[in-house]
Chain A
Amino acid sequence: MISYSNKPSGRASAVLILAVAFLSALSFGQAGPTRVDPGVLKNLVEAKSQLQTAIDTWDAGLMAEARDRFLGCLLQDKSGTAYLPYYVALADYCLATFHMAAGNAAESDPRIAEGEAYLEKATKTAPDFAEALALFGYFLGIEIANHPDRAMTLGMQSFEYFDRAESVAGSNPRVHLLRGIYQLYVPEAFGGGPDSSLGYLNTAIALFEKENVTDPLLPSWGKDEALTNAALAYKQKGDTAKAVELLKRALAVNPKSGRARGELAAIEK
C-alpha cells in the first residue's frame, strides 16, 4: 500500500518558510503589487476622474471630495499598493496649490504636511517610486514658498528628491513635469527660471507623446499641464506666440482645462 501525503515534511516546511521569508525580504523597491480589488479600482477611477474635473474647474470642494474618495480606496485596499497613498498626496498637492494661489498659506500648510506624510508612506512601501519622489520634491518647494526661511535647508532636499526620481525613472514625464513647474518658481540665482524650467517641461511634453497608460491604477495625469506650464514659461520669456500655440495644444488635449483657457484668454485680450 502506498501512503501519500500532501503535507511537506518538517525539513521541507522549514526550507519553504525560509525561501518565502527570503523572497519577501528581497521584494522591495517597487510601487507595490497591482492586484488591487476590482471594487477599489472602480472607486479609484471615479476618484481620479473627480480630481481631474476639480482641477479643470478649479474647485477646492471637489478636490476635497476626490481626496476623501482616495482615502476610502486606501482604507479598503488589501494589496498595500503605494499608488493609493500617492493619490491622496496628489489631491493634497492640488488643494495646497489652490490655497496658495488664493494667498491662504494657513490653509495650504496642513495639506502640504499631510501630502508629505502620505508620500513618506508610499516611498516606505516602494523606495524607488519615482512619481512619489518627484511629488515630494515639489511639496518641499511649495513649503519653501510658504516659509522662505526654510529655503536653505529644504531647497537642497527638494533637489535631492527630484534627482533621485529622475535617476530611477528618467522616462517618466510627470517627474520632468513637476521639476519643470518647480524650476519655474526657483530664482535664477539658484539655477531656476524659465529657461531651466523649459528644459524639463519640453522633455516632459516629448515623453507624454510616447506615454500610453492603460492600467487604471497608474498615474496618467499631466499632459495638458505640461503644455500649459511650458506656455507660461514662454510667456515669461516674452514669446507670446509660442505660449499661445502651447495653450491651444493643451486645450486640444483637455478641452475642459479651465487654466489653459484662462491663460489663453489673458494673453489674447
Chain B
Amino acid sequence: MRKFAPRIALALILAGLAAAQETIWVEGRIFDRETKDPLPAYVMAPNGRGVSADVQGRFRLRVERPLSGPIKLTVFLLGYRRTDAEAKPGEVLSVALELEPLAAREITVSADSVVSDDRGRTTVALTKMEVYRVPGAAADPLYASQVLPGVNAMPDSSSLLIRGGGPDEVGYFFDGIEITHPFLSESLHESYFSIFDNQIVENFSVATSGMPPRAGNALSGTMDITAKDLTAKAEGGVGLSILGLNSYASLPLGDTGSFVVGYDRGFSDWLTRLNSRGSGRRFQTTQAFGKGIFRVGKSSQVRVYGLSNDYRFSQSGDFDVSSRNTLAALSWTSTLSKRFVLKTLAAATRYTMDFDRPAEPLRLGNRDDVLQARADGLWDLDRHFLEFGADIQGRSITTTVASISQASFDVRSTRLGFYLQDQFRLTGKVYVTLGGRGLHLGLSKRGWTFDPRASAAFFLTKRDIFRASAGLYRQFGDYFDVRRNPRLGPRSAALFALSYDRITEALEIRATIYDKEYRHLILADAAGGTSDAGRGFARGAEIFLKKKNARYDFLIVYNFLASKRAEGDVPILAPSPYEIPHSMTAIFSWKLKNGTIGLRYSYAAGRPYTPLEGRIQEDGGGSYSPVWGAAMSARYAAYRRLDLNGSWTVNVLKKMVILYFGITNLLDAGNVFRTDYLDDYSTRADQPSIFGRSLFLGIYLPFF
C-alpha cells in the first residue's frame, strides 16, 4: 500500500491539474470611464491569448480556469491606460478604461485658435484649405483670421482687433521674427492685406488669451505664422487672376536641405475694368520671398530668409503712396538631444513709406528700421515642456514732414526681454502653463517690468476641454511719446478668460467669457504733455461653432464686447473706439463633386466716434474751429457684407487646374468705414469701404 501511495497522490494532483486546465468563457463589456462610450479594446488572458471587443465594447474570451481565485485579464486600447481586470466564472465583466495622459507638448493649454492641418488638435482650428475658401478673405491669413473667435474686426481692414484691443496691440511673428509692419498696404486709417502670401505659409495661430511669453510687447494678442520648411518633394503652383500673378515653389535640395520661394505681382487695372470702377484709384504690388533651409551635420539646420514687398497706390490728381517692406534673417536650430532644441535668430527689417499730395503741397515720409536677435530653448521632459529665452531689439524710426518747410523727427531705442514658461501635466486631466516675461525699454525710466501668466486646461473628457487663463501683458506705446516723457512705462492689460471647447472630427464649439482691465494707457493733458493715467476695460463673450460633413461645412462666430477707455484726448471713461458690441460671421460651404461654393455673411455693429456738433469762426476770418460733441457718443452705421466664392477643379492634359471666382459685397451694401470733414468743418464726408461689389476671376495650376 505504501508503495502505491505516491502514485495515488500523483494521480490526485494530475486530476486537480486537469480540473485547473478546464476552459471557460469570460464575457464582458468595455467602455470609456468618462463618456461611457463602448471601446473596442483588446482583452488578454494570462496565457497571452486574447480577443478584441466589438464596436459595442462586448467581448467573449475562452480562458483556462485558474486553480484558485479570479481570472486575471489585461485590457488595452491605444490612447487609454492599460488596465488589469479580474473576472469570476459566470460573471459578466464591466471594464472602464481611463484616457492615457498626453505629453505636455501635445496640449494647447490656452484658448488659442490655429490654422493647421495637424491631427489630434486640442484647440479650435481652421485648415489651410478652409483659409483658401473663406469668401471675401482673398486667401489672406490676416483676413481669414477674422473668422476666428475673439477677433472683433470688421472684414474691411486686415488689422486684427482682438477682444477690444486696438490694431497696434497685436504682435505679429513670422518664424519667430517680430514683424512691426505686417500689412501690404498700411495707411493712417486702415491696413489692407498681409505681406505673407498664404502659399508659403505652413500654419499660423492667433493667441487671444494666454499669449505665450516668448512673444513680448503685445497688449491684446499675437499672431504666429510659420513658413513652409523642409520638404522631401518638389511642389508649387502658379496662379493668374484679375488681380495679377502669384506663384510659389518648395524644392528639396537632397541632403542639403530645401528651398521655398514665392513671387506675386498684383495690379488693379483689370479689376477696375471688369467692375467698371473708374474712380481714379490704382495700385500695384510686388512680393518676393525666399527661404533656404540647410542641414548642418545630423542635428542642426541653418535658415536664411529674404522678403521684399512693394506697394504703390495713387488717387489720380490727389495723392500717391508707396511703401516697401524688406526682411533679411538668419537662424540656427540645433537639436542638442532628442529632448532639447536651441534656436538662435538674427533679423533686420526695414519699412519705408512715402506719401505725396502735390496740390497742398505735402510729403510725408516714414522709415522704421528694426534689428533683432533672440535665443530660445525648448526642453521636452514629457510631463513638463519648458520654453525659455531672451531677445533684444534695436529700433530706429524717422518721420519726415515736408510742406512749406521740412521737418524731420527721429527716435531710437533698444528693447530687451526674457521669458520662461513651463507647460506641465498636473494630473492626467489637468495641464497647466506657468510663465512670465520681463520687458525693458531703454527710452523709459521705468526699468524692468515682469508679467506673470498662467493658464490651465481641464479635460472633462477627451473631447470637452475647460480652460482658464490669467495674465498680465504690457506694451510700450509710441516711442516719440516715451522720449518726450521718459516716465511713461508700458501700457498694461490684465486678462482673465474662461473657455469651454468641444472638439470632434465633425463639430467644433468654443464658448468664452473674458475680462480685460487696461492700466497705464497714454493720456494727453491740457498742457500738451502726456501721462500714463489712462485706463479702461474690455469685457465680452464669444461663441464659435464649426460643423463639417461630406456635403457642406458651416461656421458661425459671434462676439459680444463692451469696452470703455480713458485714453488719448478722452480723459474720462468713454466707449472705446475699438468697441464693436456685436460682430458675427457665418460661412456656408457646399462641397460639390469637383469644387466648392461658399457664402459668407458678416455683420459688425457700428464703432463709436466723436460727433461734430458745430463750428466756430476764428477771428471773423475764413478759418474755423470744430465743436465736438461728447466723446465717442455717436456710432457709425452697422457694417454688413455678403460674399460669395467658388472653385472648380478640372483636368487639362492630365494636369489639375483650379478655376475660381469671388464676388465681394454681393449686395453692394454701402458700408461707411470712417467719417472725415472738410477743413472748414462745413461738410461731412463719409468714407465708403473700398470693398464695393466686385467680381474676381482666377486660375491656379498646382504642381506636385
Contact = CB atoms under 8 A, between A and B. Distances in A.
Interface string B47-71: 0111110010000000000000000
Contacts of A156: 117, 235
A149 B596 CA distance: 10
Contact of B338 (A26, A166, A190): A26
B656 interface: yes
A189 B335 CA distance: 39
B44 interface: yes
Contacts of B79: 117
A187 B338 CA distance: 39
Contacts of B651: 187-189
A190 B233 contact: no
Interface string A59-88: 000001001110110111000000001000
B18 interface: no
Given A25-B337, A118-B78, A149 B550 contact: yes
A152 B656 contact: no
A110 B50 contact: no
B129 interface: yes
Contacts of A121: 78
Given A22-B337, A71-B52, A159-B233, A189 B654 contact: yes
Contacts of B649: 189
Nearest to A168: B232
Interface in B20-79: 40, 42, 44, 48-52, 55, 74, 76, 78-79
A50 to B, nearest CB: 13
A22 B44 CA distance: 36
B550 A71 contact: no
A164 interface: yes
B677 to A, nearest CB: 49
A121 B127 CA distance: 24
Contact of A26 (B76, B129, B337): B337
Contacts of A188: 651, 654
A167 to B, nearest CB: 5
A4 B115 CA distance: 64
A152 B340 CA distance: 34
A142 to B, nearest CB: 15
B117 A190 contact: no
A63 to B, nearest CB: 11
A93 to B, nearest CB: 15
B448 interface: no
Nearest to B552: A149
Contacts of A9: none
A214 interface: no
B121 interface: no
A163 B233 contact: yes
A115 B115 CA distance: 25
Given A25-B339, A28-B338, A72 B50 contact: yes
A114 B49 CA distance: 20
B550 A68 contact: no
A160 interface: yes
B658 to A, nearest CB: 10
Contacts of B550: 147-149
Given A43-B48, A71-B52, A72-B49, A189 B655 contact: yes
Contact of A163 (B129, B232, B338): B232
A85 B77 CA distance: 12
B128 A75 contact: no
Interface residues of A, number: 40
Contacts of B270: none
A43 B48 CA distance: 9
B41 to A, nearest CB: 9
Interface residues of B, number: 34
Contact of B48 (A76, A148, A191): A76
Interface in A34-48: 39, 43
Contact of B232 (A26, A28, A118, A166): A166
A157 interface: yes
Contacts of B48: 39, 43, 72, 75-76
Interface in B190-238: 231-233, 235
Interface in A101-150: 110, 114, 117-118, 121, 147-149
Contact of A117 (B52, B78, B704): B78
A72 B13 CA distance: 31
Interface in A164-187: 164, 166-167, 187
Contacts of A76: 44, 48
Contacts of B412: none
B40 A164 contact: no
B591 interface: yes
A190 B44 CA distance: 44
B656 A75 contact: no
B40 A71 contact: no
A71 B338 contact: no
Contacts of B127: 153
B337 A110 contact: no
Contacts of A74: 76
Contacts of B655: 189
Given A75-B74, A166-B232, A188-B654, A159 B50 contact: no
B129 A152 contact: yes
Most buried by B among A43, A68, A188: A68
Nearest to A85: B78
Contacts of B117: 153, 156-157
B358 to A, nearest CB: 49
Contacts of B78: 85, 114, 117-118, 121
Contacts of A72: 42, 44, 48-50
A71 B41 CA distance: 10
Nearest to A127: B338
A149 B338 contact: no
A148 B55 CA distance: 24
B339 A164 contact: no
A164 B129 CA distance: 23
Contacts of A69: 49
A160 B232 contact: yes
Contacts of B339: 25
A67 B52 contact: yes
17 contacts: A22-B337, A25-B338, A25-B340, A68-B42, A68-B50, A69-B49, A75-B82, A85-B78, A110-B55, A117-B79, A159-B704, A160-B231, A160-B233, A163-B232, A163-B233, A189-B651, A189-B656
Given A26-B338, A160-B233, 12 more contacts: A22-B337, A43-B48, A67-B52, A68-B52, A75-B42, A75-B76, A114-B78, A121-B78, A152-B129, A167-B232, A189-B655, A190-B656
Nearest first, the 9 A-B pairs at minimum CB distance are: A163-B232, A25-B337, A189-B656, A189-B651, A163-B233, A71-B42, A188-B654, A191-B704, A28-B338
